[in-house]
Structure 1
Amino acid sequence: MAESVRSQLLHGVAWNFIEKVLIRGASFFIGIILARLLSPSDYGLMGMLSVFISISSVFIEGGLAKALIQRQNCQDIDYSTAFVANVGMSIGIYWIMFAAAPWIAIFYGEPILVDLTRILSLNFILGSFNIVQRAKLMAKVDFKSLAQINVISTIISGFIGVFMAYYGCGVWALVGQSLCSTLVLIVLFPVYSKWKPSFTFSKKSFCYLFGFGSKLMVTGVYSVVLNNISTICIGKYYRSQQLGFFTRASQFSELISTTSYDVIGNVTFPVLSELQNDVTKLVSVYRKSLFFTAMVIFPIMVLIALLAKPIVIILLTEKWLPCVALMQWLCLARMFTPLSAINMNLLNAVGRSDLFMKLDFSKLPLILVTFAITIPIGVEAIVIGDFVSTFICFFINAYLPGRMFGYGAWGQIKDWRYIFLSLCIMVLSVSTFLHFVTNVWLQLFGGGIIGIIVYMVCCLCFKIVDDDVLKILKIIE
């Protein structure tokens, strides 16, 4: 691998890791405070809107951000065209959501959703001003600037959210936090990106960007709907409190899973795009990205699942205990999510967004059957079904990369065999400790320390950590 590409990848991973640790850490701490001040029903109300907000966000971006990153030698006219398209789409989507708000409230049987939808949807217009500037920084692998922007935004908006929750604003504290975050980003992105938006529009540029991005947009909408089917159904057929437990459990499980993919996936996409004409280097980066992600994500998710009960009791109090079992199954399911995403991301990096879309749609029958079976049974059955379908989807997502580059699911699992062996030893050690200890504080800290030490010792014994991983962990520049 060329030294410049290796250095770019390692520096990007290092700074992206710093960013995500700081942001997720701050968000986690703020979320704990908010969960103590707010009720499960408050989170349930926000959960009911999550699918509509997510789908609208996909339409607004239209895949243009990734198209800008994937396209080599982008000109200023390309960025301006994407900016105009994003802003125009966001205004249209906002008015659609404004008009649809009463219907959303009727669907869930919650009148407050009318005002919540209309106020929260202002994020669409505000956020559209940042999409191109974020893509520009990502294309340059400038995760140092992204880290500083996002950390400042998280801290300021978190303070506003906690302040509003403390003074009894209820669910509006979560809305205020979200809007404040977007407003701060509007101020910071122009300063760091050094790019001023204009309203210059090129039909030729738009056709190219949309030609690539439209497939990602369709796939994105499809993915959002599938990923939120459980949220929709729980909100529709069960109480908002049940949805609140599910939402909180999802936030715990996705904290590490999303961070892991953000750190590796967001860095590797521009790097893989740059290497799309050099298959040998492309596969090398792709393989190491998967291995490093598995090495980090597997032990953390398994350890959180083992320690779910003391985590919930200590951090959220006993009023949140019903989310323990949900959190355990979701943690196991999210072990495979970032790995599947990296496998799929490779197709986008080489410009095959059409294959990305076809592969994603091929999973639809499996997911629909799983939900059809589990939804009538109950919320816990839904998350167990999620685990089963996610595990199977990992093999589906790795199929085309395996055919194209000779590194499919079984090859990946073979590379991870010592990681799995280390996990088994860690689970046995922590489970034995928890069997003899009943104090939740001792369970959390004692079990956590034992799990980390046992896994690290196994990594050293089996020589899992290689030179590139050590470099990633040491780079702080």
Structure 2
Amino acid sequence: MRSTANGFKWSIIERLSTQIIQLIVTLYLARLLGPHVFGLVGMLVVFIAISQVFVDSGFSSALIRHTERTEKDFSTTFYFSIGVGITCYFVLFAIAPYVASFFEQSELINLLRVLGLTVIINSFAIVQRTKLIIEMDFKTQAKASLISVFISCGTVIYLANMGYGVWALVGQTVINTLCNVVFLNIYLRWFPTTGFSKNSFNYLFSFGSKLLIAGLLDTIFKNIYQIIIGKQFFANQVGFFTQANQLASVPAMTFTSVIQRVTYPMLSNIQNDTTKFDETYLLTLRMTALFIFPLMVGLSLSATPLITLILGEEWLPAAELLQIISLAFMLYPVHAINLNLLQVKGRSDIFLKLEVIKKFLLVCILFITTPLGIKAMCIGMVIQAYIAFFINSFYTGKFCKLNTAKQLKILTPIWLGVFICAILTHCTYLFIDTNAYIELAINLSVMPLLYIAFIRWMQPDLYLIITTTVFGKRLT
């Protein structure tokens, strides 16, 4: 339990600190560079993300889950990752002109060819990251990430102010990736001591191949909105959507990353203790909802004043999108926890099956909403997220006591409480003359107070856990 708590602490420190710093810098750059620049980079994200999925190919998850891993397994992963990384880069280099032609943006040729270098660079730290996760050593990862973020953010601010435009954003990504890989290799000096093992590859790929296909589906469809918007509309609209999507996804994905990185190895270690496994799974699900639900609803409530004050009125179209997308990302960590269980149980086949079902659903929703505009597409994201919850929880309920009905029973009170607090907060300034500063101040003060009172009244056991963990004693 001590290693788990320590893992949570350092994972939170790393994810929150790096994401907050990057978010602040991104908002500064958005105001400085404008929507068009962010739209160009947003068009390329999917190609880099797909390449990264191929580089990992599910081998990291296979190594973490495998309790009898050997040095041959690590060495095989190392050689495989580098080989795939180099192959992916040459593919990106070759298709760059076609990508530019598809979006009708000639600048994308050189942008993709430089940004694609991150794929090769990242492949040199796959094993280091995996070993640190297995050891639950998130402190080392935090140090590497923080140093890299400071260096890359300082560089991008300088480049942006020197007039490099979109190349400043590309430079930030490349430098951050390079620094992170270098520091991980410094802190964890590991080199392959054996050659490539066919037996190791067969084992790792048999488990990871299904996660690879699922990861590809998830990555493609997670970024398909930028592709459709970039093709159907203009670069500015891609910029608005990308910024709204990033503001909504950062808190959700940061929280999810912390949960997954810590609970996956932890649950893997107790997968044979049914009682302890179910108790841990239940508490994780409840604590996740307790924090992420109010965060995302609060972000939706504050979207307009937040965008107005931070980015300026040029970015105001992104506020309407942020209000909607935030509600879709409410359930993102819940999805991740449900899918984590399938990986722990070794059912990557069901994991893949669920991804296929959900992506077919997403295609249907996009087919209906795309002709109606970007706002309708974002509403479709919310609908897809809630349907996906029922699909995920139905299948995970087959492997533990927390079926869909029980998950709804524990999540619905928190969900209702959050929305009631948000409505009451909104009512406090609905009939008075306010500005963006006042609205934001009310949202940041009134809603948290109402929510704390709600948790103390309706979820006393969780309130006790939080107060005793933070303050060392129960608050009266």
1:158/1:123 Cα in 2 relative to 1: closer, same or farther (>3 Å)? same
CA contact (8 A) 1:14 1:473 kept: no
| Cα distance change on mapping 1:460 and 1:138 into 2, 3 Å | same
Q: Which residue in the other structure is 1:465 paired with?
A: 462
Q: Distance in 2 between matches of 1:424 and 1:454?
A: 11
Between the aligned partners of 2:229 and 2:170, the Cα distance in structure 1 is: 21
Aligned to 2:410, which of 407, 415, 423?
Answer: 415
Residue deviations 1:275-304 (CA, integer Å, cap 9, x gap) = 122222222221111111100000010011
Letter in 1 for 2:440: L
Candidates 245, 263, 288, aligned match of 1:268: 263
- Structure 1 residues 473 and 401: alpha-carbon distance in aligned structure 2, compared to 1, 3 A threshold: farther
Shift of 1:197: 4.2
Q: Please state how far the C-alpha of 1:163 moved relative to its aligned partner.
A: 1.0
Query: Taking structure 1 as reference, are residues 322 and 199 closer, same or farther at Cα in structure 2, changes over 3 Å only?
Result: farther
Match of 2:379 among 374, 384, 402: 384
Q: Which residues in structure 2 correspond to 1:97-246 (within 5 Å)?
A: 97-197=92-192, 200-246=195-241
Matched position secondary structure for 2:372: coil
Provide the residue aligned with 1:375 in structure 2. Answer: 370
Change in CA separation of 1:141 and 1:163 when aligned onto 2, cut-off 3 Å = same
Distance 2:364 2:470 in 1: 42
8 Å contact 1:434–1:447 — kept in the other structure? no
For residue 435 of structure 2, what is the amino acid of its counterpart? Answer: N
d(CA) in 2 for partners of 1:69 and 1:420?
33
How many angstroms does 1:179 deviate by?
0.5
Return the letter of the residue paired with 2:444. G
Cα 1:314–1:132 shift into 2, 3 Å: same
Q: Is contact 1:11–1:472 with CA below 8 Å preserved after alignment?
A: no
Partners in 1 of 2:469 and 2:393 — Cα distance? 25
Q: Distance in 1 between matches of 2:180 and 2:454?
A: 42
1:447 equivalent in alignment to 2:443: yes
Whole-angstrom distance in 2 between the partners of 1:468 and 1:278 = 23
TM-score by length of 1: 0.95
Are 1:69 and 1:138, in contact at CA under 8 Å, matched by a contact in 2?
yes
Identity of aligned residues (%): 38
Residue 359 of structure 1 and its aligned partner are, at CA, apart by: 1.6
Going from structure 1 to structure 2, the CA distance change for 1:350 and 1:470 (only over 3 Å counts) comes to farther
Query: Could you tell which deviates more after superposition, 74-83 or 464-473?
Result: 464-473
Q: Counterpart amino acid of 1:453?
A: L
Deviation at 1:199, TM superposition (A): 6.6
Partner of 1:352: 347
Contact 1:272–1:350 (8 Å) recurs in 2 = no
Per mean C-alpha deviation after superposition, the further-off stretch among 327-336 and 277-286 is 277-286
Deviation at 1:73, TM superposition (A): 3.1
Q: Secondary structure at the match of 1:398?
A: helix
- CA distance in 1 between partners of 2:468 and 2:194 (Å): 43
Any stretches of 5+ residues in structure 1 without a counterpart? 1-5
Relative to 1, partners in 2 of residues 1:445 and 1:38: Cα closer, same or farther, differing over 3 Å? same
Shifted more, 384-393 versus 277-286: the winner is 277-286
Report deviation, 1:417.
3.8
Paired letter, 2:441: F
- Amino acid of the residue matched to residue 306 of structure 1? L
Aligned with 2:434 (options 432, 438, 441): 438
Structure-1 separation of matches of 2:393 and 2:114 = 40
1:313 to 301, 308, 313: 308
Instruction: Provide the rounded CA distance (Å) in 2 between the counterparts of 1:472 and 1:410.
Output: 30
Residue 426 (str. 1) matches residue 399 (str. 2): no
Measure, in 1, the Cα distance between the counterparts of 2:424 and 2:192.
56
- Give the alignment partner of residue 393 of structure 1, picking from 380, 384, 388: 388
Alignment correspondent of 1:3 = none
Structure 1 residues 472 and 53: CA distance shift in structure 2, 3 A: farther
| Residues 455, 463 of structure 2: 8 Å contact kept | no
Q: C-alpha distance in 1, partners of 2:193/2:115?
A: 26
Distance 1:317 1:306 in 2: 18
Q: Report if aligned partners of 1:418, 1:464 keep a CA contact under 8 Å in 2.
A: no
State whether structure 2 residue 327 is matched by structure 1 residue 332. yes
Query: What is residue 285 of structure 2 aligned with on the other side?
Result: 290
Query: Is residue 255 of structure 1 aligned with residue 250 of structure 2?
Result: yes
Distance 1:272 1:474, change over 3 A: farther
Greater shift in the superposed pair: 431-440 or 97-106: 431-440
Residue identity in the other structure for 1:195: W
**Aligned twin of 2:84:** 89
Aligned equivalents of 2:471, 2:184: Cα separation in 1: 28
Name the amino acid aligned to 1:330.
Answer: I
Deviation at 1:192, TM superposition (A): 2.2
Deviation, 1:474, is 6.0
Deviates more, 1:270-279 or 1:132-141: 270-279
CA distance in 2, matches of 1:464, 1:420: 17
- Partners of 1:368 and 1:288 lie apart in 2 by 34
Q: What letter is aligned with 2:58? A: G
Distance 2:306 2:204 in 1: 45
The alpha-carbon deviation at position 409 of structure 1 amounts to 2.5
Q: Distance in 2 between matches of 1:195 and 1:281?
A: 34
Q: Deviations over 1:401-444 (max 9, x none)?
A: 11221212221121134313421331122111231242211111
- Which residue of structure 1 aligns with residue 30 of structure 2? 35
Aligned partners of 1:190 and 1:196 also within 8 Å: no
The alpha-carbon distance between structure 1 residues 64 and 468, as it changes in their structure 2 partners (threshold 3 A), is: farther
CA contact (8 A) 2:456 2:463 kept: no
From 8, 11, 20, give the equivalent of 1:13.
8
Q: Structure 1 residues 208 and 437, CA, compared in 2 at 3 Å: closer, same or farther?
A: farther
- Distance in 2 between residues matched to 1:258 and 1:154, nearest whole Å: 17
Amino acid at match of 1:315: I
Name the SS of the counterpart of 1:92 in structure 2: helix
Partner of 1:302: 297
TM-score w.r.t. the length of structure 2 is 0.96
Deviation of 1:53 (Å): 1.0
Task: Tell me if structure 2 keeps the 8 A contact 1:10–1:472.
Answer: no
Letter in 2 for 1:146: Q
Amino acid at match of 2:160: A
Q: Given that residues 27 and 311 in structure 2 are in contact (C-alpha distance below 8 angstroms), is that contact kept between their aligned partners in structure 1?
A: yes
Letter in 2 for 1:322: P
Alignment-derived partner of residue 17 in structure 2: 22
